[in-house]
């Protein structure tokens, strides 16, 4: 019968066994086995299959490196590099590990379908299992010298419970901005590593936009890129898709390009044709070089690498041994006409940032729409005036715009007012004269007033001028229609609407910003025939505020779908005059100004006295008869 000492001797020997003098890549080549269920090439791991992964993995062994940032496309083996680092830790340098995935369900799947099979398939790793059963509900794997924890970025409890020496953050750009009611999940999990002076933090993701986490981290690093030699001229270069991946000009069928392998890579220097069969040899001779350095023809890094504890790596799908140049070209051709697919191609195949700007107007461009008429004077084509008021805490921004046939329009007034009395006088009590003295002056037919600030005060203003004003609230694609009405004035006891009482109009601001932008962009197509006009000597404040926002394509991290959204060009940039133009355009749509056409027979109704405002019918905004716009 064995004594207690004899029973414990293997565990004691293992506990005091010194780690082998191996890098992560050397350890993986010796001990890692790929699972047939999750790998297209099961069996013994070979770093030479993806030579660029050697530099990524071996950065883990550099004692001066604390953070490793991997910004990479899909299908280049970046996740397997992470798993090799974890496997190396288990066998060579044990310590508590936390692997964070975007969702808790992702973390459970990785634990059961990727990491546990990895441990079971390797004789070295499986020797570290203990008789203690793992609790999947706790999302951890118990090993003889350490515990491997798993968590979703959406689970604050999983991120904040225990000290961690090694932190792995996978697909960071899919993380939520907050973990439940807690702080940023990346910050929350990073704080768990404070107590370890020799901690390692590895962050990995395909990029999204400049706002994405992985890009911000990569920018702070030494920004390494993988240089490979041209098989023709020997000059080292970084593989880039744009202008370098070529295929026959006359061929646009992606399936034919892919099946017949018609695409090639053109050398940046000698313009030589690089085909797929040359790629593997190029990769084996490749070298990682940080920004500010390059690789000469002898494969030597030229320049002084920066001293940093944050190592960054960037690599795209052109380097993948599993993808041909033709497959990448075909994917581009399939995606180029569809924003969502193109965004995925740029992010997931090229590992590049999606350039968010979709619709953007520049002040100097907008100024081209100024024509020769003065502020406050009506050009001949104006048939009706609408207004937009943006209410601030202690002042107001006002737009008055004139509309004519075919949605042609002229800016009549863009001004800031400090007092409500000034506002009332200019918007509600002023008739504006034409530059043609034979035409009767016009007053503002309908004004939309924002209720975001001083709400009760705005309601009282709109009640006082109910025939020519509407209280509005901007929303972003909340309703199926761009205009939606709710009741403000109700009987206290029954909650029923008071007849003739105040209503609140909800505007789809994205819809009306799109509309205003479309009218402006159409005018740029032919300045001589422009239909969106600004008066001469337009102030820079108006131009800058009108151009303060742009339309961007945004990725919904929960659904994986993209949607368009208007956002400020720079943080806190004022856009009050743009908002006013949106409100004035909404007022015009309420009046059905878009139906005013020269051949429609519709006209602006005028009373016998010529004072249009006196005949503005309360509550009856639309009338399809000849006096369809009443005032």
Written as one string, the DSSP assignment of 416-485 is EESSHHHHHHHHHS-EEPBSSTTSPPEEEEEEEEE-SSSHHHHHHHHHHTGGGEEEEEEESS-SSSSEEE
Q: Quick one: average pLDDT of 151-156?
A: 82
- Cβ atoms within 10 A of the Cβ of 276, count? 16
Q: What pLDDT, on a 0 to 100 scale, did the predictor assign at position 148?
A: 92
Q: Are 340 and 348 in contact (CB under 8 A)?
A: no
- Most confident region among 46-60, 489-503, 507-521 by mean pLDDT: 46-60
List the one residue out of 172, 251, 234, 254 whose CA is nearest residue 205: 172
Q: What pLDDT, on a 0 to 100 scale, did the predictor assign at position 185?
A: 83
Q: What pLDDT, on a 0 to 100 scale, did the predictor assign at position 620?
A: 29
pLDDT tens string 453-467: 899 999 999 999 999
Residue 614 has pLDDT above 50, yes or no: no
Q: What pLDDT, on a 0 to 100 scale, did the predictor assign at position 373?
A: 94
List the one residue out of 225, 285, 222, 280 whose CA is nearest residue 62: 222
Give the DSSP H/E element, type plus range, for residue 202.
strand 200-205
- Cβ atoms within 10 A of the Cβ of 292, count? 11
Q: In what order do the strands lie in the sheet with 273-274?
A: 245-246, 264-266, 273-274
Give how far Cα 62 sits from Cα of 1, 67, 269, Å: 47, 11, 34
Residues of the chain above pLDDT 90, percent: 56
Q: Are 180 and 152 in contact (CB under 8 A)?
A: no
Q: 6-10, 135-139, 143-147, 367-371 — which is least confidently predicted?
A: 6-10
Two tokens at 310? 């944050």
Residue 18 has pLDDT above 70, yes or no: no
Q: Are 420 and 443 in contact (CB under 8 A)?
A: no
Q: Quick one: average pLDDT of 11-40?
A: 78
Q: What pLDDT, on a 0 to 100 scale, did the predictor assign at position 626?
A: 31
Q: Are 410 and 401 in contact (CB under 8 A)?
A: yes
Give how far Cα 569 sits from Cα of 137, 422, 556, Å: 45, 31, 20
Q: Label each residue of 416-434 as H, E or C.
A: EECCHHHHHHHHHCCEECE
Return the bridge partners of 314, or none.
Answer: 71, 225
| More confident call, 529 vs 20 | 529
Question: Roughly what angle, to the nearest 10 degrees, separates helices 420-428 and 455-464?
Answer: 30
Q: Quick one: average pLDDT of 248-276?
A: 93
Residue 14 has pLDDT above 60, yes or no: no
Q: What pLDDT, on a 0 to 100 scale, did the predictor assign at position 9?
A: 52
**Half-sphere exposure of residue 304: CA atoms within 13 angstroms, side-chain side:** 2
Two tokens at 415? 């001004």
| More confident call, 571 vs 398 | 398
Q: What pLDDT, on a 0 to 100 scale, did the predictor assign at position 242?
A: 83
In angstroms, the CA 555 to CA 354 distance is: 10
pLDDT tens string 27-55: 999 999 998 888 888 899 999 999 999 99
E strands, 384-427, are 384-391, 396-403, 409-417
Q: Quick one: average pLDDT of 321-327?
A: 95
Q: Are 443 and 426 in contact (CB under 8 A)?
A: no
Identify the architecture of domain 365-547+576-613 in CATH.
2-Layer Sandwich (3.30)
Q: Are 236 and 299 in contact (CB under 8 A)?
A: yes
Q: Give the model's confidence band at 311: pLDDT under 50 very low, under 70 low, under 90 confident, else very high.
A: very high
Q: Quick one: average pLDDT of 110-127?
A: 90
Identify the architecture of domain 22-220 in CATH.
3-Layer(aba) Sandwich (3.40)
Q: Give the model's confidence band at 357: pLDDT under 50 very low, under 70 low, under 90 confident, else very high.
A: low
Q: What pLDDT, on a 0 to 100 scale, did the predictor assign at position 559?
A: 57
Q: Give the model's confidence band at 205: pLDDT under 50 very low, under 70 low, under 90 confident, else very high.
A: very high
pLDDT tens string 337-349: 776 788 889 999 9
Burial pattern 494-524, b for ≥16 Cβ within 10 A else e, equals eeeeeeeebbbbbbbbbbbbbbbbebbeebe
Q: 7-16, 310-319, 363-372 — which is least confidently predicted?
A: 7-16
Q: 203-217, 236-250, 484-498, 513-527 — which is least confidently predicted?
A: 484-498
Two tokens at 444? 């503002």
Q: What pLDDT, on a 0 to 100 scale, did the predictor assign at position 411?
A: 97
Kindly report whether the global pTM for this prediction surpasses the value 0.85: no
Two tokens at 21? 């003098």
DSSP state of 22: -
Domain segments of the chain: what residues? 22-220, 225-306+323-354, 365-547+576-613
- Cβ atoms within 10 A of the Cβ of 163, count? 14
| More confident call, 305 vs 612 | 305
In angstroms, the CA 546 to CA 617 distance is: 33
Residue 82 has pLDDT above 60, yes or no: yes
Residue 617 has pLDDT above 60, yes or no: no
E strands, 303-408, are 310-315, 357-359, 384-391, 396-403
Mean pLDDT of the chain: 85
In angstroms, the CA 483 to CA 505 distance is: 7
Q: What pLDDT, on a 0 to 100 scale, did the predictor assign at position 560?
A: 54
pLDDT tens string 540-579: 999 999 999 888 776 665 555 667 788 888 877 899 999 9
Q: What pLDDT, on a 0 to 100 scale, did the predictor assign at position 37?
A: 82
Q: What pLDDT, on a 0 to 100 scale, did the predictor assign at position 175?
A: 86
Q: What is the CA radius of gyration of the chain?
A: 33
Rounded to 5°, angle at Cα 388 from 387 and 390: 150
């Amino acid at each position: 019968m064995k004594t207690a000492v004899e029973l414990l001797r293997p565990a004691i020997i293992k506990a005091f066994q010194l780690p082998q003098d191996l890098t992560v890549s050397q350890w993986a080549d010796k001990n890692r086995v790929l699972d047939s269920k999750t790998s297209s090439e099961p069996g013994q791991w070979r770093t030479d299959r993806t030579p660029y992964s050697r530099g990524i993995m071996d950065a883990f062994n550099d004692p001066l490196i604390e953070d490793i940032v991997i910004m990479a496309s899909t299908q280049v083996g970046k996740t397997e590099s992470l798993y090799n680092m974890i496997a190396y830790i288990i066998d060579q340098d044990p310590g508590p590990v936390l692997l964070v995935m975007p969702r808790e369900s992702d973390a459970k799947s990785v634990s059961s379908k990727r990491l546990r099979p990895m441990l079971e398939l390797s004789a070295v790793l499986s020797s570290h299992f203990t008789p203690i059963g793992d609790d999947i509900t706790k999302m951890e794997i118990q090993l003889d010298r350490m515990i491997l924890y798993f968590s979703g970025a959406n689970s604050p409890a999983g991120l904040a419970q225990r000290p961690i020496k090694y932190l792995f953050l996978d697909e960071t750009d899919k993380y939520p901005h907050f973990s439940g009611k807690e702080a940023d999940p990346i910050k929350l999990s990073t704080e768990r590593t404070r107590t370890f002076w020799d901690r390692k933090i590895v962050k990995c993701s395909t990029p999204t936009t400049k706002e994405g986490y992985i890009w911000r981290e990569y920018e702070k690093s030494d920004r390494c890129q993988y240089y490979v030699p041209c098989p023709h001229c020997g000059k080292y270069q970084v593989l880039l898709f744009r202008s370098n991946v070529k295929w026959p000009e006359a061929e646009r069928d992606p399936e034919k390009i892919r099946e017949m392998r018609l695409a090639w890579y053109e050398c940046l220097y000698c313009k030589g044709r690089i085909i797929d069969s040359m790629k593997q040899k190029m990769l084996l001779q490749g070298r990682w070089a940080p920004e500010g350095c390059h690789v000469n023809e002898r494969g030597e890094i030229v320049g002084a690498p920066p001293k940093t504890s944050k190592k960054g790596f960037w690599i795209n799908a052109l380097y993948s041994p599993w993808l041909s140049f033709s497959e990448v070209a075909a994917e581009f051709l399939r995606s180029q006409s569809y924003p969502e697919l193109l965004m995925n191609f740029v992010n997931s195949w090229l590992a590049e940032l999606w350039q968010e700007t979709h619709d953007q107007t520049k002040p100097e461009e907008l100024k081209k729409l100024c024509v020769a008429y003065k502020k406050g004077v009506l050009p001949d084509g104006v048939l009706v005036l609408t207004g937009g008021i943006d209410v601030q805490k202690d002042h107001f921004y006002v737009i008055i715009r004139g509309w004519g046939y075919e949605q042609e329009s002229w800016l009549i007034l863009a001004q800031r007012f400090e007092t409500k009395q000034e506002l009332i006088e200019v918007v509600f009590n002023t008739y504006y004269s034409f530059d043609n003295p034979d035409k009767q002056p016009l007053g503002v037919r309908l004004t939309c007033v924002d209720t975001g600030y001083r709400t009760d005060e705005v309601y009282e203003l709109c009640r006082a001028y109910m025939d020519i004003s509407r209280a509005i609230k901007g929303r972003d694609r909340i309703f199926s229609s761009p205009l939606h009405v709710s009741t403000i004035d109700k009987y206290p006891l029954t909650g029923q609407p008071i007849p003739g009482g105040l209503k609140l109009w909800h505007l789809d601001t994205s819809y009306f910003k799109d509309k205003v932008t479309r009218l402006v962009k159409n005018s740029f197509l032919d300045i001589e025939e422009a239909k969106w006009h600004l008066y001469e000597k337009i102030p820079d404040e108006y131009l800058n505020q009108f151009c303060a926002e742009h339309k961007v394509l945004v990725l919904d991290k929960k659904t994986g779908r993209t949607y368009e959204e208007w956002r400020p060009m720079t943080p806190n940039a004022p856009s009050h005059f743009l908002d006013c133009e949106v409100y004035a355009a909404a007022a015009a749509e309420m009046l059905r100004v878009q139906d005013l056409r020269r051949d429609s027979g519709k006209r602006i109704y005028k009373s016998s006295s010529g004072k249009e405002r006196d005949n503005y019918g309360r509550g009856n905004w639309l009338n399809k008869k000849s006096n369809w716009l009443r005032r």
